[in-house]
Amino acid sequence: MSFRLYAPWVHSLKEKRMIVRSILARIQNQFHISAAETGEQDAHQIIMIGVAAIVPHNAFADSLMDEISSFVEENCEAEILEENREIR
């Protein structure tokens, strides 16, 4: 699963790093999954986050992705521009 977020108030890469670290730590602590910044690392106001988890079946994956999506929406001030989901 990946998110593309927009944070218009961010004006430096240092400020962006603080926001990204906070979001990643909260996602990892809440769901015990892998999460990382996956792109747009030189853009100040765009944040790309990827999350991955190993789950026993597709229904669990769908449920987990719904929970993660809601969590990001509720706990992040940045606007979600795009959300991609993939099950392999």
Q: What is the pTM of this model?
A: 0.85
Domains defined for the chain, CATH in brackets: 2-84 (3.30.70.1120)
* Helices 13-31/58-75 angle, 10° precision: 140
Q: Which of 4, 83, 3 is nearest to 45 (CA)?
A: 4
Position 43 scores a pLDDT of: 85
Q: What is the sign, positive or negative, of the torsion defined by CA atoms of 58, 23, 74, 78?
A: negative
| Strand duo 34-39 + 46-52: pairing | antiparallel
Categorize the per-residue pLDDT at 84 as very low, low, confident or very high, splitting at 50, 70 and 90: very high
Place of tokens 């240092």: 14
Convert the pLDDT of each residue in 26-76 to its tens digit: 999 999 999 999 988 788 899 999 999 999 999 999 999 999 999 999 988
Q: Which H/E stretch holds residue 81? A: strand 79-84
